[in-house]
Amino acid sequence: MGLFLLFAVCLISTPVLGSSSPKKRSKSDRNIGAIGHRKIANGDANWFSPENEKKMGAQWSAAFERSTQLLFDPTIADYVEGVAHTVAQNSDARIPVTVRIIDREEVYALTLPGGYLYLTRGLLLRIGNEGELASVLARGIAHTALRSSMNELTRENIARLATIPLIFVGTPGNNTSASSLAVPLTLLKFKRDDEFDADYFGLQYLYKSGYDPECFIRIVQTVSDANPYSTPTAKALSPFPPLPERLRALQEEISGILPKRDGAVTNTPEFADFRKQLLKLSSPRPETKSEPKPVPDQTVPSSQSPEGIVGRRGMRSDPSA
């Protein structure tokens, strides 16, 4: 009980709506040569084992996909899978990563427990080169490596046991989130710390994968511009740190710990093919006038339904491979 009371005091005394700032980084966190051999999530209290996280992630992913239209296309799937595999191999993630595309025009990415990453078609259309795509994937893989979802769930459970009154706020407007899950106001500071961490380690994974780190900065700006805050209150209650502070932290990381090098990848010829196919799928279909035809009364087997096809097709990148 004493632990819960101590945690309650820490939460109550934590400023929530003030200025955000990234925490101090350890020598291990700054050592990009140790990527893949360090435990970046080891310092956080976590009630859930990796095995439990995998089971929960599979359940949450299945529930999410039952109410979400996914985009299935072999050209897009194989390309994104390849980029995700490259980044996962250069990360600290110990859980295989699954990437799927949501067929929506909104611009956001979502990371569920167990390594499930979702990118919207709208986000993919905003991406200008392969380095920016790798940046989006690197950030999601960083959340997986950090076990952000499980850490957050642990904190919320501890807060409930401590009987802390929580004020819940919905995701403001259309800002970079796939769901309307509420965010406890007293835990907002911790959520922003998680986002700073995803920026910090995601940038390292991008760099180690051979990409230009400036691509990371550009896509952060692009997504922010695509999701403007509707009100000052929405901005204050966003789980994401303010954009100027995120960009400043990223620039400091690039200049402070990432060695300068020549030949960093920004784009590849394969991205052009991917982009062409994406635009084809996103183009509005021409309207045609025709006489209505009767629809035969038949049942489509579940294994042949679009949902069944999508369910069999997933993009799995195992960092241990």
Report the Cα 279 to chain-centroid distance in Å: 23
- pLDDT for residue 282: 84
- pLDDT for residue 254: 97
The domains of the chain are located at: 21-282
CA nearest neighbour of 166 among 193, 191, 197? 191
Residue 5 token pair: 């009371």
CA nearest neighbour of 151 among 113, 178, 184? 113
Separation of alpha carbons 85 and 14, rounded Å: 38
Tokens 């435990």 locate to 39
Q: What is the pLDDT of residues 80-94, one digit of tens each?
A: 999 999 999 999 999
- pLDDT for residue 231: 85
C-beta of residue 159 within 8 angstroms of C-beta of residue 11: yes
- pLDDT for residue 184: 54
- pLDDT for residue 181: 41
Instruction: Look over the chain and give the mean of its residue pLDDT values, rounded to a whole number.
Output: 78
Separation of alpha carbons 176 and 221, rounded Å: 12
Confidence of residue 45 (pLDDT cuts 50, 70, 90): low
CA nearest neighbour of 92 among 156, 166, 32? 32
CA nearest neighbour of 76 among 119, 39, 34? 119
Q: What is the pLDDT of residues 242-273, one digit of tens each?
A: 999 999 999 999 999 999 999 999 999 999 99
**Cα angle vertex 34, ends 30, 39, to 5°?**
85
In the chain, count of helices (H) and strands (E)?
13, 6
Separation of alpha carbons 4 and 154, rounded Å: 12
Of the chain, the percentage scoring pLDDT greater than 90 comes to: 53
| 112 backbone φψ class: left, alpha, beta (φ>0; ψ -120 to 50) | beta
- pLDDT for residue 318: 60
- Asked whether residue 300 carries a pLDDT value surpassing 80, the answer given is no
pTM reported for the whole predicted model: 0.77
Q: What is the pLDDT of residues 163-219, one digit of tens each?
A: 444 333 333 334 434 343 444 556 677 788 889 999 999 999 999 999 999 999 999
